[in-house]
Amino acid sequence: MALGKSATCIGCECTDDQACVNDATGNPCHWLAVDYEAHLGVCSECADSLERWHEGDRRILAPVFVAKITREGDSEAYYLEPINTGWFETHRLKLEAGDRFCVEMVEMSVDDFSKRPQFEFQRLFDRWLEHMLCAEREVSRGDEAAARNYRMNASLIAATLASHNYDVNEMLEEQENETA
């Protein structure tokens, strides 16, 4: 691993600063392939990810144990919650009558995980916040009509969230507390 440069392995997420170690030899890993401009690579302990790398797949896929919830009548899991990992942010686990629950090992990227249906409320909140910030920007520019338009769109999004028991003000406060 190179000094002054930083890359993350797409197989296990080790880095230049925190190399993984071979169980048999006790030696730290080294790069089999690395792109310091993209800050990504494949370490010697993840040779099975080399084919993906050569095919151009640079997604960081890490195997994690997850709790899976499948809604009654559905075949695909609705909710995935990582167990004992720092890789994904922890979220609320809400079981309902009839839900099937299991724990298993899955491999997915952070992007794939964040696109799960359980995070639709977060995507809506992000859109609400964007509209509110645009409204503030338009007010500072003196364009009250545009600001009113953004506020109206934000109100519609807030109403959608409220219909699913999410309060935008509580979500905003939670986000501010996380960044403080």
Domain range for 99: 62-115
Say how far apart CA 132 and CA 129 lie, in whole Å.
Answer: 5
Q: Are residues 124 and 159 in the same domain?
A: yes
Reported pTM: 0.47
Say how far apart CA 41 and CA 22 lie, in whole Å.
Answer: 17
pLDDT digits (tens), the chain, 180 positions: 445 578 989 888 888 888 888 888 889 999 999 999 989 999 999 999 999 999 999 888 766 666 677 777 787 776 666 554 444 444 445 556 666 666 666 666 666 766 766 678 888 899 999 999 999 999 999 999 999 999 999 999 999 988 888 899 998 888 788 776
Q: Are residues 106 and 139 in the same domain?
A: no
Helices of type H across 15-117? 50-54, 110-114
In a domain, 1, yes or no: no
Say how far apart CA 36 and CA 134 lie, in whole Å.
Answer: 36
The tokens describing 169, both together, are 């003000």
Show which of 71, 96, 115 is a domain's final residue: 115
Q: How many domains does the chain have?
A: 3
